[in-house]
Copies of this chain bind each other. A is one copy, B any other.
Amino acid sequence: MSDLTIGTLAKSAGVGVETVRYYQRRGLLPQGGTHKGAFRVYGTDELARLRFIRRAQTLGFNLEEIAELLALDEETDRERARAFAQAKIADVESRIRQLEEMRSALQGLVTCCEHTEAPAPCPILHALAAAPEEAPLTSPPKAHARGTRARTSS
């Protein structure tokens, strides 16, 4: 037993076949698997690796980070694993803080809206439309800050 085809391997880990292949392309899973006939077969270590990936994802690691985690040695890399986890905690916490700021700003708008008499323009839309010179428009969350050159010209 534990002679899995890619399909059963995928199902066992709760992912799609295409996902497994994708992980193979990304180098997270071995391309191989021993051949048996024309199809590849996978064993329990591939399954464990696949589950490792999914669990690490639920903890907020992306695939690149997971590749690094997978390269760590259980015996000799404890320090590094812990540092990794701690860095991720810091990262998660900063995202939480960002979201909390959003929430309180939104909450402020809603509260304001509820305390405004009916025949007035919507304070929410109004607040969005008004130009707050004080709050200088902290740059919106860019998906991936890369070449954010403001092109301030010569």
Contact = CB atoms under 8 A, between A and B. Distances in A.
Contact of A106 (B92, B102, B125, B131): B92
Interface in A9-42: 11, 14, 16-17
A146 interface: no
Interface residues of A, number: 62
A77 B125 contact: yes
Contacts of A82: 110, 113-114, 122, 124
A109 B93 contact: no
A81 B124 CA distance: 7
A59 B89 contact: no
Interface string A141-154: 10000000111110
Contacts of A139: 14, 58
B140 A54 contact: yes
Given A82-B124, A137-B54, A48 B103 contact: no
Given A58-B141, A69-B128, A92-B103, 9 more contacts: A51-B137, A55-B137, A58-B105, A58-B137, A59-B102, A59-B106, A85-B109, A85-B113, A96-B100
